[in-house]
Amino acid sequence: MLKEQKTLSLKDFENTTKLSIKDRATAFYEYYLYNKRQQYSNYRIVSKLGSGAEIPLIDPYNNEEKNCISFVSNDYLGFTKHPKIISACKNALDIFGTGAGSSPLTGGQNILHTKLESKIANLFQKEDAITYTSGYAANSGTLLALLQNEDLAILDMGVHTSVLEGCMQTNKKYFLHNDVVSLERILKQSQKKFRNIVLIVDGVYSQDGDIAPLDKICKLSKEYGAFLIVDDAHGLGVVGDKGKGVLDLFNCYDQVDMITGTFSKSLASVGGYVAANKEIINLLKFFSASNIFSAAATPHAVSCVLKAIELLDEEPEWNIKLKDNIKYFKQGLDTLNIDYGKSQSAVFPIMIRDEEKTKNIGRELFKNGIYANPILYPAVSRKQTRIRMSILATHSYKMLDKTLNILEYAMKNQKLL
Ligand code: PLP
């Protein structure tokens, strides 16, 4: 590595053409240690008590316990610590044991998985659903099973890495983020050139927190005969009535062909899902490698999700509190004149637009007991670097006020306010 450590990014280590595996790892290790010395290493910090609004962490710079207000969790409704979910989980452990034992195809499916699939299908008004052990596997496995050489995937530039992986065996075109003019241009150009045109968007974007203009996207997909897939990982539990997600927000259940998502965010567990018509789901049950060659989810993880979905209806106060916190935080940022892009969800990108300042602010926040991830190149372009903050229903106004004060202080220090 000839470049100075300060000027490097993860991109420089993605494919080091001249370095062996060992030399690449050594070079990257040096870069990792450099970042640690600078106290820029706000990643992979270990929590002593799981996820939450305020949690004890192990400070990576001195190995001591450090209490932080946390904005890194996607447990938007705070359900990972909900007593009813914990009790459902314990119950399932007693009845079903700790593991599924094999893949869904070869006997790992139990009645909890089947119940969950029917609940998911119901939630999104689809005929059937299939579950996976992660949202990542749901996206990548489904798309790899459906799309080949003859097809085209048209992707918003902001879709998740799991979608990109799922599109590795097919043709890809990207449209500008949330830009329906750019989308229509590509749809027009691509007519009659492919067996399937599949349009893939997120409901809520994970880095920007903005929402896809699904009303317009549904119209375009119908007009140009594209198969529409929506990944609502960050919308479920957050937007729509009682947090039912973007399909509810736009009331477009019947216009979206397939919905995908995760249980790892608002639904307090781990795993992913795809809901669609029964023929497509059946196809996936026999052709989606990440489902059929991987053990089914643990029964207790599934039972948490079952309870979490019930709580969306039974205890809407969590979604109401989350929306109230989002509004409160937004007002605070507006008052301070802090740029948070076009966020309309629980994800706030605090736009810094300068790599070094983003790292410095991340360090300052952590020093002052605020845990949030700096998002740097290559995750976003160098001009779009930001601090990503996720608001939870379990944050108190006092926590949010303290955070806004420290954020103001850190941004003033960097001459950004
Ligand atoms: N889709 C989006 C938009 C995401 O943000 C994520 C997770 O970060 C996933 C899918 C994958 O979800 P999981 O954590 O269940 O693998």
Q: What is the pLDDT of residues 19-29, one digit of tens each?
A: 999 999 999 99
Determine whether the shortest distance from the Cβ of 232 to ligand 1 is under 6 A.
no
- Ligand 1 pocket, mutate which of 74, 134, 136 (most atoms under 8 A from CB): 136
- Ligand 1 pocket, mutate which of 73, 120, 156, 162 (most atoms under 8 A from CB): 162
Calculate how far, in angstroms, residue 136's C-alpha sits from the geometric centre of ligand 1: 6
* CA within 13 Å, CB half, 415: 2
250 SS3 class: coil
81 φψ region: left (φ > 0), alpha (ψ -120 to 50), beta (else):
alpha
What pLDDT was estimated at residue 15? 85
Residue with the smallest CA separation from ligand 1 atom 12 is 135
**How far is CA 141 from each of CA 164, 229, 346, rounded to the nearest angstrom?**
11, 14, 27
152-181: pLDDT as tens digits: 999 999 999 999 999 999 999 999 999 999
CB 183 within 8 A of CB 317: no
Query: Is the pLDDT reported for residue 209 higher than 80?
Result: yes
Determine whether the shortest distance from the Cβ of 373 to ligand 1 is under 6 A.
no
Please give the backbone phi and psi of residue 367, each rounded to the nearest 5 degrees, phi first.
-55, -35
16-61: pLDDT as tens digits: 888 999 999 999 999 999 999 999 878 899 999 999 999 999 999 9
Query: Is the pLDDT reported for residue 84 higher than 60?
Result: yes
Determine whether the shortest distance from the Cβ of 109 to ligand 1 is under 6 A.
no
CB 197 within 8 A of CB 224: yes
Q: How many percent of the chain have pLDDT more than 90?
A: 94
What pLDDT was estimated at residue 378? 87
What pLDDT was estimated at residue 5? 87
317-373: pLDDT as tens digits: 999 999 999 999 999 999 999 999 999 999 999 999 999 999 999 999 999 999 999
Torsion of the alpha carbons at 30, 386, 262 and 91, rounded to the nearest 10? 80
What pLDDT was estimated at residue 1? 55
CA distance 187 to 377: 30
**Per-residue confidence band for 88, with pLDDT thresholds at 50, 70 and 90:** very high
Atom from ligand 1 closest to the CA of residue 74: 8
